[in-house]
Chains A and B, each alone.
Chain A
Amino acid sequence: MYQRAKYLPVGDNALLVEFGSTINLNINRRVHALDHVISKAKLKGVKECVPTYRSLLIYYDPSETSYEPLIFQTKDLEAKLDESSVFAHERVLEVPVVYGNEYGTDLGSVARYHGLQEDEVIRLHSGRDYTVYMIGFVAGFPYLGEVAEEIATPRLKTPRLRVPAGSVGVAEKQTGIYPCESPGGWQVIGRTPLKLFDIEKRPPTLVLPGDTVRFRPVGKEEFENLSRDE
């Protein structure tokens, strides 16, 4: 974490508040805490905020506010920031996953990369709770962390053109779920039948930053049954 947050102009209509340059839960909590208080404060002219791992991008309408007053107001809120209040909701989501075979085509290579059995990779991946750091990349894609060192694996050398919806992937110490079919370079180790993004719902995503996600290994049969229910 930086000693002091960086305030940077982005283009002609946004302000970036950057708290650090790494994937780190304390940094991420500050990002979401600031996002939370800005939305509560209803600052005039603020149109939209985008929280990520380590920074908050604040879009504003220049006909309603301007850059300097916005920095001033944001710094004021940042000075009083209380991270403990934001993730108080403690939502836990259990995500059923069928690992390996045609559902997780890279499970074998991830296991080989680390000299593990496939079962051990499954046990390690499903054996801990993950925090949702942010939603990004495509609609509803949750970035989760962090996976055990023993299964942290680099991205594919050549990204796939098509990764099926529901695919559960690993990239370094991150894990995530593809909400829809899309190109992608993460190591796909399994698939969930859950629908992660729904345009009819508010919010449209199944999980939100700060939520806890727990993967539960299931068999093909349960996967197919759950798929029918979704």
Chain B
Amino acid sequence: MSLKLCEVTKPGFFTTVQDLGRFGFQRYGVPVSGAMDTYALTAANLLVGNKPNDACLEITLIGPELLFLSEAQIALTGAAFFPTVNREMIACWQTLQIHKGEALSVGSPQNGCRAYLAVRGGINVPVVLGSRSTYVRGDFGGFQGRQLRTGDVLETHESTAPLTSGFSMPTEAVPEYTGELLVEVVLGPQTDCFTDRGLETFLSRARYEVTTDSDRMGYRLEGAEVERKGSMDIVSDAIPVGAIQVPRNGKPIILMRDAQTTGGYPKIAVITTPNVSRLGQAKPRDRIRFSKVSPSKAREGLLEYLKALSLLKGRLVASRL
């Protein structure tokens, strides 16, 4: 059974329903989608006692305004958006009780790009191809396959009992978001398409700026051109999330969660999983530098990251609601 949760009174810049992603369908051309910052979405869910993969709102740069139609327990994580309830500032990274008739205004961030709003019980939208994530270009998933608009009414699962006490995230587990990112990459699979000078430019000298031509599909970067060997592209192969492709103009493009599943530009490197999540907070004009890690070091890093995520629930601090 479903319960009316809130009405969208202002949709914000780009607000969609996301979970941790849609897996198993890349072979059919379906991108993984899901939260750009998986860490923040997972944390938001844990703070309201949800499963890590429950559906949340992903909020981008300008937050929505929501009028609550029932009692709710929520948590906001990710970039600090200066949210208010009935015009009073509220805290992020902790469980909050919202009363029927209250208005939440999510605000805008000083640093970072995306906030995540979890509600106890999760946002109830149909599961499409195994996920509740919105894939806007495909018109499916999430809330009617699109970003939220004024007048939309979101629902939650009625059967979930409210929490009797809340949680907050210890400060050490709250990431700091800055406009300068050092991002770890594993080189390949097409390093042989680049000259030594091109690789050096990419790794050591250059600082790239995220352009306004950036969204859930990918980030176009501005900065030193990465020199390629010849102008030939490759015969299309698979594109993982976090791949960095370099078209003929030498300007790298980072492929994010809604990217096409295959492509014909050579890929100089792939960003490690924990770093893709951090990069989900990059916004236009932020600066990125790339540093190389060995594949085995990257794999160790991923295992540590997954372990930290699995222990995150145990690190929550009890708080009053």
| Interface pick from A73-81, A87-95, A129-137 | A129-137
Q: Does A161 contact B (CB under 8 A)?
A: no
- B299 contacts A137, C-beta separation under 8 Å: no
- B273 contacts A205, C-beta separation under 8 Å: no
- B27 contacts A10, C-beta separation under 8 Å: no
Least Cβ–Cβ distance between B173 and chain A, in angstroms: 20
Known: A12-B186, A140-B28. A52 touches B236 (CB 8 A): yes
Which residues from A are CB-within-8-Å of B29?
Answer: 135-141, 179, 197, 205
- A51 contacts B139, C-beta separation under 8 Å: no
Which residues from A are CB-within-8-Å of B129?
Answer: 199, 204
Known: A21-B234, A140-B28, A140-B29. A10 touches B262 (CB 8 A): no
- A55 contacts B186, C-beta separation under 8 Å: no
- B302 contacts A204, C-beta separation under 8 Å: no
Which residues from A are CB-within-8-Å of B24?
Answer: 47-48
Q: Does B140 contact A (CB under 8 A)?
A: yes
Which residues from B are CB-within-8-Å of A55?
Answer: 237-238
- B189 contacts A18, C-beta separation under 8 Å: yes
Q: Which of B28, B189, B235, B260 touches A8 (beta carbons < 8 Å)?
A: B189
| Chain A positions 175 through 191: 1 when the CB is less than 8 Å from some CB of chain B, otherwise 0 | 00001101000000000
A62 to B129 CA separation, bound complex (whole angstroms): 24
* Chain B residue at minimal CB-CB distance from A203: B28
Q: Which of A54, A63, A180, A203 touches B237 (beta carbons < 8 Å)?
A: A54
Known: A136-B262, A137-B260, A139-B138. A11 touches B237 (CB 8 A): no
A11 to B293 CA separation, bound complex (whole angstroms): 10
Q: Which of B128, B189, B301 touches A16 (beta carbons < 8 Å)?
A: B189
* A-contacting residues, B229-264, CB 8 Å: 234-238, 240, 242-243, 260-263
Q: Does B188 contact A (CB under 8 A)?
A: yes
* B-contacting residues, A20-37, CB 8 Å: 21-23, 35
Which residues from A are CB-within-8-Å of B186?
Answer: 9-12
- A50 contacts B235, C-beta separation under 8 Å: no
Least Cβ–Cβ distance between A20 and chain B, in angstroms: 8
Which residues from B are CB-within-8-Å of A23?
Answer: 235
In this complex, how many residues of chain B approach chain A with their Cβ under 8 Å: the count is: 43
Q: Does A194 contact B (CB under 8 A)?
A: no
A197 to B28 CA separation, bound complex (whole angstroms): 9
Q: Does A227 contact B (CB under 8 A)?
A: no
- A11 contacts B30, C-beta separation under 8 Å: no
Q: Of residues B140, B261, B273, which shows the largest number of chain A Cβ atoms within 10 Å of its Cβ?
A: B261
Q: Which of B137, B238, B303 touches A57 (beta carbons < 8 Å)?
A: B238
When A and B form their complex, what is the total count of cross-chain residue pairs whose Cβ atoms lie within 8 Å? 130
- B27 contacts A53, C-beta separation under 8 Å: no
Q: Does B298 contact A (CB under 8 A)?
A: yes
Which residues from B are CB-within-8-Å of A14?
Answer: 240
Q: Of residues B138, B301, B302, which shows the largest number of chain A Cβ atoms within 10 Å of its Cβ?
A: B138
Q: Does B61 contact A (CB under 8 A)?
A: no
A204 to B128 CA separation, bound complex (whole angstroms): 11
A224 to B137 CA separation, bound complex (whole angstroms): 26
A13 to B270 CA separation, bound complex (whole angstroms): 10
A11 to B187 CA separation, bound complex (whole angstroms): 8
Known: A48-B23, A67-B295. A62 touches B188 (CB 8 A): no
- B262 contacts A180, C-beta separation under 8 Å: no
| Chain A positions 139 through 167: 1 when the CB is less than 8 Å from some CB of chain B, otherwise 0 | 11101000000000000000000000000
- A199 contacts B299, C-beta separation under 8 Å: no
* Chain B residue at minimal CB-CB distance from A50: B238
Q: Does B53 contact A (CB under 8 A)?
A: no
Q: Does B13 contact A (CB under 8 A)?
A: no
Q: Which of A10, A139, A179 touches B188 (beta carbons < 8 Å)?
A: A10
Q: Does A105 contact B (CB under 8 A)?
A: no
Which residues from B are CB-within-8-Å of A5?
Answer: none
A18 to B238 CA separation, bound complex (whole angstroms): 11
Least Cβ–Cβ distance between A159 and chain B, in angstroms: 12
Q: Which of B139, B188, B243, B306 touches A180 (beta carbons < 8 Å)?
A: B139
Q: Does A66 contact B (CB under 8 A)?
A: yes
A57 to B296 CA separation, bound complex (whole angstroms): 18
Least Cβ–Cβ distance between A134 and chain B, in angstroms: 7
Q: Does A86 contact B (CB under 8 A)?
A: no
Q: Of residues A11, A23, A199, A205, which shows the largest number of chain B Cβ atoms within 10 Å of its Cβ?
A: A11
| Chain B positions 170 through 202: 1 when the CB is less than 8 Å from some CB of chain A, otherwise 0 | 000000000000000010110000000000000
Which residues from B are CB-within-8-Å of A13?
Answer: 273, 299, 302
Which residues from A are CB-within-8-Å of B128?
Answer: 199
| 7 nearest CB pairs, A to B | A136-B262, A11-B270, A57-B238, A12-B298, A9-B295, A50-B238, A12-B302
Can you list 17 contacts pairing A with B, beta carbon distance less than 8 Å?
A9-B188, A10-B240, A13-B302, A50-B26, A50-B238, A55-B238, A62-B302, A63-B303, A135-B27, A138-B138, A139-B28, A139-B31, A180-B138, A199-B128, A203-B28, A204-B28, A205-B28
